[in-house]
Amino acid sequence: MQTTFSLAQLADPHVAEAEKILRKCVHCGFCTATCPTYVTLGNELDSPRGRIYLIKDMLENGRPADEEIVTHVDRCLSCLSCMTTCPSGVHYMHLVDHARAHIEQTYRRPFIDRAIRAVLAQVLPYPARFRTALRLAALGRPFAGLFRRVKALKPLAAMLVMAPRAVPAASAVSKPATHGASAPKRGRVALLTGCAQSVLDPAINEATVRLLTRLGVEVVVPEGEGCCGALVHHMGREEAALAAARTNVDAWTREIERGGLDAIVITASGCGTTIKDYGFMLRLDPAYAGKAARVSALAKDVTEYLAAIDLPEPSLAPGLSVAYHSACSMQHGQKITRQPKDLLKRAGFDVREPKEGHLCCGSAGTYNILQPDIAAKLRSRKVSNIEATGAALVATGNIGCMTQISGGTAMSVVHTVELLDWAWGGPRPEGLPATL
């Protein structure tokens, strides 16, 4: 794609990066066919190509974001399906991340939208605040139907409906500690315990620690670790995202220097995509660029890590059929497609792959709160495809997808690592009914 940025504009490294990406796009439109919002809404401006044109126009003309571009960029899930499809290697993720930051800096959203985004940014990344908010949601739940009738308040209704009725107690695994290997030691990893996941489903990290330590891997939960920053990053709050990244880079660098790390293990693929991008996000910060690149290189999804070590024979063959849902951040963001399925098969599960596996379930961080109507359509489509597999349960590697999918089906939805822990000697996942 031809671009006409001035030399002065290109002096800004963010604009220069955007230009490099834009020039790779050859307008072929292959990406439109696999874009969930284009498939759902049928509007070219809600396709990757359409958004690329809008972003190019905004940046080239050096103008602030307007309502049109905000509407179409907000509708983008950042699912990155377009990046998997694109034959020209257009790095849509970095382009849309930059566009979101530009929107945040130059566009004043309506009051309620601003207020809801501020609450999300101030609550979700902090486990104590998030736990309190979930408990308070019980008081607001009776008003969800009322809120749903007012367009601007739909996100509030979505939040209330999605909040679980029972909030699990905080897990000891979320606290800084070193969990020693219970078999001959063969590795040492840091575990990102995360923010929302550690509140919504602490059993995921508990299963991870049990499984890894049983396999001879020492697991460290470092002091000072926090939210990966993905939630605010996707809202265009660049400074907050970079601050979160620096905090984690510091925590993990201390741990690398103290005892060495073979990997930084992540159990939520949405976080994994962002941490693997820390090197890029902090490239312009001389104090952090090198350390961030080292952290990104060490970041591994738990299934990626497990697939690379020798595993003994599983101690149990559950023989259940599992519909494996590959989160977008897993398959498109990190290109991890084979490992989770291979591990589940090795563990004795009959793995079934739902049709249209490339399409997002509508979760996408805070998307199902901020764009509840599109998210609901995508969830129905996803759930129909999952249920059509006839599998007994659903496994996936991202808490956002777990929450989204379980809101639309009676099937049990568990994290992949909970099934792996079970097969390799751990307890049966709590989320599985005894009838299975």
**Binding of ligand SF4 at residue 403 (CB under 6 A)?**
no
Taking the complex as a whole, how short is the minimal distance between the CB of residue 39 and ligand SF4, in angstroms? 9
DSSP string across 41-54: H--GGGSHHHHHHH
* Size of site (CB under 6 A) for ligand SF4: 26
415 DSSP β-pair partners: 396
Min dist. Cβ of residue 75 to ligand SF4 (A): 7
**Under rule CB under 6 A, residue 5 binds ligand SF4:** no
* Binding status of residue 315 toward ligand SF4 by CB under 6 A: no
* DSSP state letter for 168: P
Nearest approach in angstroms of CB 46 to ligand SF4 is: 8
Q: Interface mask (CB under 6 A) for ligand SF4, residues 66-105, using x and -?
A: ----------xxxxxxx--xx-x-x-x-------------
CA atoms within 13 A on the CB side of 371: 25
Which DSSP symbol is given to 284? T
Q: Which of 17, 19, 22, 37 binds ligand SF4 (CB under 6 A)?
A: 37
Q: Give the interface segment with ligand SF4, choosing from 32-40, 122-130, 183-191, 287-295 (CB under 6 A).
A: 32-40
Pairing of strands 177-179, 393-396: unpaired
The Cα angle at residue 339 between residues 337 and 345, in degrees rounded to 5: 115
Closest separation between CB of residue 86 and ligand SF4, Å? Answer: 3
Q: Which is nearer to ligand SF4, 97 or 418 (CB)?
A: 97
Binding residue (CB under 6 A) for ligand SF4 from 6, 11, 16, 26: 26
Q: Does 31 bind ligand SF4 (CB under 6 A)?
A: yes
C-alpha 1/C-alpha 3 separation (Å) is 6
Based on the shown chain and the rule CB under 6 A, indicate whether residue 172 belongs to the binding site for ligand SF4: no
Q: How far is residue 289 CA from its own chain's centroid?
A: 23
Radius of gyration of the chain (CA): 21
Among 328, 374, 384, 408, CA closest to 40: 374
Which of residues 18, 21, 25, 298 is near ligand SF4 by CB under 6 A?
25
- In the complex, what is the shortest distance from the CB of residue 37 to ligand SF4, in angstroms, rounded to a whole number? 5
226 is an interface residue for ligand SF4 by CB under 6 A: no
| 36 counts as binding ligand SF4 under rule CB under 6 A | yes
C-beta closer to ligand SF4: residue 78 or 404: 78
Residue closest to 365 by CA, chosen among 238, 278, 235, 174: 235
CA distance 362 to 359: 9
The nearer residue to ligand SF4, 51 or 131, going by C-beta atoms, is 51
Instruction: Collapse the DSSP code of 37 into the 3-class scheme (helix H, G, I; strand E, B; otherwise coil) and give the result.
Output: helix
Rounded CA gap, 28 and 226, in Å?
41
Q: Could you tell me which residues are beta bridge partners of residue 266?
A: 192, 301
Distance CA 9, CA 24 (A): 19
Rounded to the nearest whole angstrom, what is the least distance from the CB of residue 119 to ligand SF4 in the complex?
24
For the chain, give the number of residues: 436
Is 42 a residue that touches ligand SF4 (CB under 6 A)?
Answer: no
Question: Residue 351: beta bridge partners?
Answer: 322
Closest contact distance (angstroms) between CB of 250 and ligand SF4 is: 30
User: Does residue 280 interact with ligand SF4 by CB under 6 A?
Assistant: no
Please state the closest distance from residue 374 (CB atom) to ligand SF4, in A: 9
Please tell me the distance from the alpha carbon of residue 104 to that of residue 98, in angstroms, as a whole number.
Answer: 10
Nearest residue (CB) to ligand SF4, 22 versus 190 = 22
Distance in Å, CB of 99 to ligand SF4, minimum: 11
- The whole-angstrom separation of Cα 211 and Cα 267 is 13
Provide the binding-site residues for ligand SF4, judged by CB under 6 A: 25-31, 35-37, 48-49, 51-52, 76-82, 85-86, 88, 90, 92
